[in-house]
Amino acid sequence: MRVRDIETPVGLARAHIRRVPRARGAIVLSHGAGGGINAADLTALSELTEDGWTYVLVEQPWRVAGKRMAPRPPTLDQAWLPVMSALTSGRWRLPTPLIQGGRSAGARVACRTAVDVGVDGVLALSFPLRPPGKPDTTRAPEAQSVLDAGLPLGVVQGLRDPFGSPHDVRAELGDRAQVFEARGDHSFSRHPQDVLDAVRRWLSTFTT
């Protein structure tokens, strides 16, 4: 694994890169607002290298700086764009097809920036569809923007996720999104293998 520090307008980000020879493509994921790249599902997905995918985990600048609270969405996006620019150019250029994604808040960033980055697909883990206790608030338009751009969208959602069940996500996004169920709540901490299995199913049907 190689580690690369990347300058952004809001601080230093850090990419942990696991390259494989003759890669099928690359997957770049980031963490949520309440955790880091050591989350159980993100760790489990490192096994995708065994399937031929280069795998990259990105620590966002606020985490690298040791802060506990994530900044607002515009600041997260402002950091993500130069990270992806650095990973898709020069000698560090990742192979294609290129998939970006993340868990929870990281999934939202991936959806919002997918078109600007020019990725081939988006993987959303625990997409936070609605904040608990706010049934009239929805983040569905962020995910819908991926589908409206004609990009594949894979969503892995916990059956007991308080931010929205797999059924809720399907109801909001329709048939164009591929929504997979996993045991557990928003964290997948007890069943990370479910996430790995679901992502492998999505990748088996992934086309650009």
Question: Domains of the chain (ranges plus CATH)?
Answer: 2-204 (3.40.50.1820)
CA distance between the termini of the chain: 27
Distance CA 61, CA 36 (A): 11
Residues of the chain with pLDDT below 70 are: 207-208
Whole-number pLDDT of residue 208: 58
Q: What is the pLDDT of residues 137-170, one digit of tens each?
A: 999 999 999 999 999 999 999 999 999 999 999 9
Q: For the whole prediction, is pTM greater than 0.85?
A: yes
Whole-number pLDDT of residue 207: 64
